[in-house]
Structure 1
């Protein structure tokens, strides 16, 4: 873990770069302290702009990330061709294009082909997972052999949901039941990481890395909507380096 971001621990091909930011290293204050990258959460726009500039400089990004207007669905765009931004996943084949998703408890998923010629970033909250956003993103790779990395999300001991959420998943696929544990107060604890691994495996992706973070329980490193309600957003990014 870097001081300001996590470098995914996965065997990505040469030329594929990725990072998942922590909440440290920016200029935002108060509830958004400090590297808030979300322009839609009530933070001072000037501070968000500076945070994004700091991010680009720190990671030596080849371009401004393609920031999505995430809607908790399953729409996937091609970041270098589409002007549409209302989506929850973006992919690209072009070097120098930075795919990004923002989260504060939802699960960010990175995908890349083992050849390194295509990459994608996926915003997978429970609604997106139930809607099939991972499966839709995998389909955009047109059958390529893939690697996946699971970034920071609310952990399985902190994400309490109602019966209706569990039923949404189990009606879709009975195997999803294994990702839920019943609590003493008739609720359920949902494991986003387990749900994502099931979806990835069923979509043909067996090389899955990452997981094990908990945004809710680690306030020093991560923003968490479930914990704080008014809070910032981290970014998880992936790109192909430009040819020299």
Structure 2
């Protein structure tokens, strides 16, 4: 890839001035099986290639990008500058136009949130455990603490493994659905599954977020995206959001 090439990012509209989108596998420096825009710092890829890939994302975002050490929990970190060490958190909130925040995934649901009026954004890692742990509610609460209004928040639910593909044991489906009923699903081959994007949408709407867009792209079946379920050795793509510049 040449430095002047445009990074292919799936843009989403989260309001005036908000820079937001989801990367794909394309446009980076990593070699197979991580080719080519791998943004995973702990998946076995060449660290130099990953750093180069993040540099491309930062040029696209127009600002430094902060991301967390995701542990499938409900912890939120409010950041004003890029930390020297990524905080242990599954959601990051920024109210600074000089700092974008990101979430990295390979099947879990990447969620981008923004209140364009208050200039507050969040990137949320909503996997099965995080969804049950209330990571979305915690992220919205942290945004409100920074001056956002839930009624003004716009949400973009990015590409993730679909209910048609995410097979789980029947007991696990029942356990998750007791907390988030909208996740109850069945695979395309007729076995128990979880529809995490549907669960994310339901939680956001219950919390009062009126504007929610949901990607229809299934990471498991779309080889333009990384999927841990499809290939255990693989990279990570990202959802990135930056507050508007005033």
Shared fold, TM over 0.5: yes
Distance in 1 of aligned mates of 2:213 and 2:98: 24
Q: Distance in 1 between matches of 2:190 and 2:169?
A: 8
Question: Helix, strand or coil: the match of 2:150?
Answer: coil
Per-residue deviation, 1:210: 2.6
> 1:186/1:240 Cα in 2 relative to 1: closer, same or farther (>3 Å)?
closer
Matches within 5 A, 1:143-182: 143-145=149-151, 146-173=153-180, 176=181, 178-182=182-186
Deviations 1:49-85 (A, max 9, x none): 111122223x15222x112100000101102179561
- Residue matched to 1:203: 207
Instruction: Say which SS state the counterpart of residue 228 (structure 1) adopts.
Output: coil
Superposition TM-score, scaled by structure 2 size: 0.88
Instruction: For residue 96 of structure 1, give the secondary structure of its aligned residue in structure 2.
Output: coil
Q: Which runs of 5 or more structure 1 residues have no equivalent in the other structure?
A: none
Distance 2:130 2:10 in 1: 23
**Cα 1:97–1:135 shift into 2, 3 Å:** same
Runs of 4+ in 1 over 3 A off after TM superposition: 81-84, 182-187
How much does 1:139 deviate? 1.3
- 1:62 and 1:241 in contact (8 A); partners too: no
Partners of 2:7 and 2:57 within 8 A in 1: no
How far apart are 1:42 and its partner, in Å? 0.1
Give the deviation of 1:169 after TM superposition. 2.2
On the 8 A contact 1:13/1:116 being kept in 2, the answer is no
User: Do 1:14 and 1:116's aligned partners in 2 also have CA atoms closer than 8 Å?
Assistant: no
Provide, for residues 164-183 of structure 1, a one-character-per-residue CA deviation record: whole Å limited to 9, x for no partner.
Answer: 3222223325xx1x432346
Q: 2:41 aligns with which of 26, 39, 42?
A: 39
CA distance in 2, matches of 1:133, 1:232: 23
Per mean C-alpha deviation after superposition, the further-off stretch among 46-55 and 127-136 is: 46-55
Q: 1:211: Cα distance to partner?
A: 2.1
Cα RMSD over matched residues? 2.1
Structure 1 position 144, deviation (Å): 3.3
The 1:29/1:197 distance shift into structure 2, 3 A limit, reads same
Give the drift of 1:184.
9.6
Question: Which residue, 198, 214, 218 being the options, matches 2:222?
Answer: 218
Distance 1:152 1:223 in 2: 10
Match of 1:102 in 2: 104
Q: Which residue of 2 aligns with 1:230?
A: 233
Deviates more, 1:77-86 or 1:120-129: 77-86
Q: Which runs of 5+ in 2 are unaligned?
A: 1-5
Q: Give the Cα separation in 2 of the matches to 1:164 and 1:60.
A: 42
Q: Against the structure 1 CA distance between its residues 115 and 184, is the aligned structure 2 distance closer, same or farther, given a 3 Å change threshold?
A: closer
Provide the C-alpha distance between the structure 1 equivalents of 2:187 and 2:8, rounded to a whole number of angstroms. Answer: 35
Tell me the residue number matched to 1:6: 10
Query: Per-residue displacement from partner, 1:124-174 (whole Å, max 9, x unpaired)?
Result: 01111111111111112324321111011011211111123222223325x
